[in-house]
Amino acid sequence: MISLSWQSSFEPNTYDSNKVIQGLIAKYAALPRHIAKKHLMAAMRRVMKPGIPILRRNTPPLNTRRGRRKAGEKKRSTGALRRAVTVRTGQTGKNGDFNSFVWGVLGYKASFESRKAIWLQFGTSGGVKAYQMMEKTLQEFGPVAAEKLAAEMAVGLEKAAAELASGKNPGRV
């Protein structure tokens, strides 16, 4: 999960691009909130989208072994959990709130597949071993997403400024 607060309070020395992100958040805060939120959420979605194939790759297929099935064993579908990988973005709080923030989450759709993902992530007392799919994905995708976030936010800021200048989306008066 990545979250960006309008207060631009980030943990220091987390990533090298932190200062750039803080500056971009300050520029987004100067825009009307409805335009800034829309373009910041779109930038967040563009950053998180390449993580889908990585999480799918780290998600183990269920009920399969390497090799052939035993004689008389039924075919089993193994792709439902991998197909359930998705990206969600949103804003917590109202547009006028200073404490609101924009977030993006890479995970599984809310269904029975998300329950299976939790069982596989942490394991169960019934013998399902923990795979730690999210840790593997975070190690592989986290640094890439942090570097790409500043670039995508800059692109989104240009689009937001162009939208504001065109007067296409004035908001409520």
The H or E element spanning position 108 is strand 101-108
Grouping H, G, I as helix, E, B as strand and the rest as coil, residue 92 is: strand
Q: Which domain holds residue 129?
A: 2-166
How far apart, in whole angstroms, are the C-alpha atoms of residue 92 and residue 103?
A: 8
Number of domains in the chain: 1
Beta bridge partners of 103: 3, 90
pTM: 0.75
- What residue ranges of the chain have pLDDT lower than 70? 6-17, 61-69, 73-78, 95-98, 172-173
Determine phi and psi for 2, rounding to 5 degrees: -120, 135
Domain-located, residue 173: no
User: Which candidate, 114, 146, 108, 120, places its Cα nearest to that of 14?
Assistant: 146
89-127 confidence digits (pLDDT tens)? 888 877 666 677 888 889 888 888 888 888 888 888 887
Domain-located, residue 137: yes
Residue the block writes with tokens 């200073």 = 98
Domain-located, residue 25: yes
Domain-located, residue 61: yes
